[in-house]
């Protein structure tokens, strides 16, 4: 058993081998980039009831319910009885909650709209952009772009840690070339892409000496070689990321910028997420 101290960069989750697994991406106090896997938190929601004994017999027969326990919770400051309902498959949580909400004895379901990662932050002592300590067991990195991968044995605990985090930061700016009107990724190529990192590296990739495919390929190489913790731009959430992804596909390329090899993707609340990294838009 090993103890790891890490600064939390990013947090996401996935369904793997029949279980929902939270991934904590971070930087250790020794400067290593790591990912920690935690399967301890089961997906759940609450159903409030005034008659638990009336609701329970039907609740246990709902397909997808993986267990439940009666708790006393507060609803807008008022103590109420509620079943904490566990769901075996996270993808089915919304439909299970909808079914449960219609059962006789149900007074409404709650927290079914919270993402699993939000439940993890709320239930455990985990703080975004903060230091934590956790007991772990080393596991295979499984192709992830990290220095170490660990299985979480006990939930992380937030700690006060005095120390500077040496982030690797990459900034970029993209200029498309519109054929008419506003630029459209389905039609208009990228004319220029400028990149700079916080260690002094800078490069301007332009279409006068490179094809668009070469511009994008070189950008992919720079990100892969520098392996930034933070990718920053201005207006990137609104335009640049989707533009880059579409132009890359047109050129037969994939922006595998996540530390898990995945593309940047738009999250539930509209911002762009990149696994294991912070996608920072200064416009927002």
* Architecture of the domain delimited by 2-38+124-158: Beta Barrel (2.40)
SS (H, E, C) 98-146: HHHHCCCCCCCEECCCCCHHHHHHHHCECCCCCEEEEEEEEECCCCCCC
Q: Phi, psi (5° rounding) for residue 230? A: -130, 130
Say if domain 44-116 classifies as CATH 1.10.10.60.
no
> Tokens standing for 78?
């008022």
With a CB cutoff of 8 Å and minimum separation 6, the contacts of 279 are 231, 236, 237, 241, 264, 271, 272, 273
Per cent of the chain over pLDDT 70 is 100
Region 24-29: mean pLDDT is 96
pTM above 0.85, yes or no: yes
CATH 3.30.342.10 domain position(s) in the chain: 44-116
Rg of the chain's alpha carbons, rounded to an integer?
Answer: 23
Please state, for a pLDDT cut of 90, what percent of the chain lies above it: 87
Query: Which residue, 105, 99, 95, is CA-closest to 70?
Result: 105
CATH 3.30.420.10 in the chain, residue ranges: 169-281
pLDDT surpasses 80 at 1: no
Q: Whole-number mean pLDDT of the chain?
A: 94
CA pair distance 230, 27, nearest whole angstrom: 12
125 pLDDT tier (thresholds 50, 70, 90): confident
Average pLDDT over residues 15-44: 93
Average pLDDT, integer, range 265-284: 90
Instruction: Please write the tens of the pLDDT for every residue from 33-70.
Output: 999 999 999 999 999 999 999 999 999 999 999 999 99
Query: What is the location of CATH 2.40.50.730 in the chain?
Result: 2-38+124-158
**CB of 33 closer than 8 Å to CB of 146:** yes
CB 226 within 8 A of CB 277: no
Q: What is the pLDDT of residues 218-253, one digit of tens each?
A: 999 999 999 999 999 999 998 999 999 999 999 999
The third-level CATH classification (topology) of the domain covering 169-281 is: Nucleotidyltransferase; domain 5 (3.30.420)
């Amino acid at each position: 058993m090993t103890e790891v101290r890490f600064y939390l960069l990013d947090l996401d989750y996935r369904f793997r081998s029949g279980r929902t697994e939270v991934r904590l991406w971070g930087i250790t106090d020794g400067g290593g980039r790591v990912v920690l896997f935690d399967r301890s938190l089961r997906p759940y929601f609450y159903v409030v009831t005034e008659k638990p004994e009336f609701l329970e017999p039907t609740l246990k027969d709902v397909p997808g319910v993986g267990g439940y326990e009666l708790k006393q919770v507060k609803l807008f400051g008022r103590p109420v009885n509620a079943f904490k309902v566990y769901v075996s498959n996270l993808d089915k949580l919304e439909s299970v909650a909808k079914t449960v909400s219609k059962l006789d004895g149900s007074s409404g379901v709650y927290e079914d709209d919270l993402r699993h990662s939000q439940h993890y932050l709320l239930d455990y002592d985990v703080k975004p952009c903060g230091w934590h300590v956790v007991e772990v067991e080393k596991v295979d990195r499984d192709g992830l772009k990290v220095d170490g991968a660990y299985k979480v044995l006990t939930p992380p605990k937030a700690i006060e840690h005095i120390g500077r985090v040496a982030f690797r930061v990459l900034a970029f700016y993209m200029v498309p070339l519109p054929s008419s009107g506003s630029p459209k990724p389905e039609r208009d190529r990228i004319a220029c892409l400028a990149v700079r990192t916080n260690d002094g590296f800078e490069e301007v990739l332009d279409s006068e000496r490179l094809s668009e495919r070469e511009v994008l390929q070189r950008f992919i190489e720079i990100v892969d070689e520098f392996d930034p913790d933070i990718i920053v731009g201005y207006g990137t959430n609104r335009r640049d990321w989707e533009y880059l992804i579409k132009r890359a596909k047109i050129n037969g390329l994939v922006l595998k910028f996540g530390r898990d090899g995945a593309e940047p993707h738009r999250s539930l609340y509209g911002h762009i997420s990149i696994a294991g990294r912070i996608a920072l838009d200064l416009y927002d």
